[in-house]
Amino acid sequence: MDRIVVQGGTKLSGVIPIAGAKNACLTLMPATLLSEEPLTLTNAPRLSDIRTMSELLSSLGAEVSSLNDGKVIAMSSHNADNHMAHYDIVRKMRASNLVLGPLLARHGQAEVSLPGGCAIGARPMDLHIHALEAMGAEIELRDGYLHAIARGGLKGAIHELRFASVGATENVVMAATLAKGTTVLKNAAREPEIVDLVKCLRAMGAQISGEGTSTIEIQGVDRLHGATHPVVTDRIELGTYMLAPAITGGEVELLGGRRDLVASFCDKLEEAGISVEDTPNGLKVKRANGVVKAVDVVTEPFPGFPTDLQAQVMALMCTAEGTSVLEEKIFENRFMHAPELTRMGAQIDVHGGTATVTGVERLRGAPVMATDLRASVSLILAGLAAEGETVVSRVYHLDRGYERVEDKLGACGAKIERIREDG
C-alpha cells in the first residue's frame, strides 16, 4: 500500500487547479440510467471512487468509457437491463446507493445491497427508503439487500425529509424525473452538488424547480434524452487546498475556485486572519505574516460549514493562537484524525461530538495512519506545517477523493512524495 512522505516547514506559493467535484460526479453518473440516450460528463475528476462507480454502472449493463485522460466520461445506458447492484461493488463505496432511485425509475424495480456502516458513522438509508415509499415503492430488506418494487411505476408525492440528507435528496430527485405526476420534496438538501445534478437532469429534459432551496418540485416526464454536462468545481478539494498556504504561510491561487461554493468556510478563514481574494481565474489565499487565530466551527448542511472540511480545519487549528471548539453535527464518529494529530504534538480533547483544540507552537512529524478520506488529507496538511518528516500510510483513502495530491502540492514547493508499494 502506498505511503505519502512529507518534509514539513516549507511555505507554499503557486497555483493549484481544482478538479470537478467527486460528490457531484458520483450522483451525475447514475443519472445515465434514466435515459436510453448517451450522457457525457466533462471536467470529471480522476479518482478511484469514480472508477468504482464506472464498475457498478457497467455491472448494471451500461457502457462507460473514460476519454481525454479520464476528464470525460461517456456513458450509454441503452442496454442497461440489470437492476441488481451487488454487495461486492456497493461495499467499496457508500455512494453506490445513488443507483437506487434511477433503477426504480427505469425498471420499476431494484435490488441494491445495503452499503453498511463506514468509519465515520452508521449512515443508514431510512430517509431514502421512506421518500421512495411515499412515491409508491414497496421496499424490504432481505439478505443484506434492499428489494424495491414500484408496481405500476413511481408516482409523484409530497414528502418531507426528517433531515436534509444529500443522498436521499439526490435519489428522490432522480427517481421523480420519470414518475407520474408532480413530486414536492421538502427539507431537501441545498448542496451545490444537488444544484449541479438538477442542471444536468434539466439538460436531459427533466422539469425541475427549486434546486438550491429546501423545497424542490419535480414534474415527471415520459422520457429523458441525452446530454453533455460539465461537472461543477469540487468545493471540498478547493477548501482543502485553500488551507495549504493558510497552514504553511505563503500564497496560493486556486484555479476554478468560487467563493459561493465555500462561503461559510471563507468566513472562518478570514476570521482566523487568512486573506481570501477573488481573482479573474479563481481565489487567492494568503497568510503573509501574522499568526492564525483560533476560531470555533460547527458543521452543518449547506450553506453551513461542511463536515467534509472539518478534519482539515482541525489541522489548521492545531497551530493557531488560542483554543478552538469544533462541533461535528453531521456524523457521529468523525474525529478519528484527532488521535493521529495528537501523535504529531497537537493538543486535542474530544468529548462526544465536540473537539477542543489548543494551538501549539509547532507540530512535529510522525508516522500516522489515514482512517478515512478527509482525515487522510488533514494529516498531509499537518505534515506540511510540522517540523521534520511525516509519513502517512493507508493513502488509498486519499486516492478515493484527491487526484495527484503530491503533484498539486509539489508544484507549489511542498516537499512531498509518494512511496509506491505493491500488495
For ligand UD1, give the closer residue by CB, 76 or 169: 169
**What residue ranges bind ligand UD1 (CB under 6 A)?**
23, 26, 94-95, 121, 123-128, 163, 165-168, 193, 307-308, 330-331
Q: Please report, for residues 42, 86, 116, 240, 269, the alpha-carbon distance to residue 386 in angstroms, rounded to integers and kept in the order given.
A: 37, 43, 36, 17, 20
Minimum CB separation of residue 167 from ligand UD1 in Å reads 3
Minimum CB separation of residue 152 from ligand UD1 in Å reads 25
By CB neighbour count within 10 A (0-12 exposed, 13-18 middle, 19+ buried), where does 245 fall? buried
Q: What is the DSSP letter of 239?
A: H
Q: Which residue is nearest to ligand UD1 (CB)?
A: 167
Q: How far apart are CA 400 and CA 111, in angstroms?
A: 25
Minimum CB separation of residue 98 from ligand UD1 in Å reads 7
Nearest-10 crossing angle of helices 166-176, 100-107: 20
For ligand UD1, give the closer residue by CB, 23 or 248: 23
Minimum CB separation of residue 95 from ligand UD1 in Å reads 4
Minimum CB separation of residue 232 from ligand UD1 in Å reads 12
For ligand UD1, give the closer residue by CB, 64 or 344: 64
For ligand UD1, give the closer residue by CB, 91 or 343: 91
Q: Please report, for residues 64, 203, 400, the alpha-carbon distance to residue 45 in angstroms, rounded to integers and kept in the order given.
A: 15, 21, 10
Minimum CB separation of residue 50 from ligand UD1 in Å reads 11
118 catalytic per annotation: yes
Q: How far apart are CA 28 and CA 37, in angstroms?
A: 15
**Residue 346, SS3?**
coil
Of 25, 118, 266, 412, catalytic: 118
Nearest-10 crossing angle of helices 263-271, 235-248: 10
Q: How far apart are CA 24 and CA 18, in angstroms?
A: 14
Minimum CB separation of residue 129 from ligand UD1 in Å reads 7
Cis-peptide, bond into residue 303, ω within 30° of zero: yes
8 Å CB contact between 392 and 3: yes
For ligand UD1, give the closer residue by CB, 167 or 245: 167
DSSP 124-175: --HHHHHHHHHTT-EEEEETTEEEEE-TT--B--EEE-SS--HHHHHHHHHH
Q: What is the DSSP letter of 421?
A: -
For ligand UD1, give the closer residue by CB, 193 or 406: 193
For ligand UD1, give the closer residue by CB, 47 or 62: 47
The catalytic residues are 118
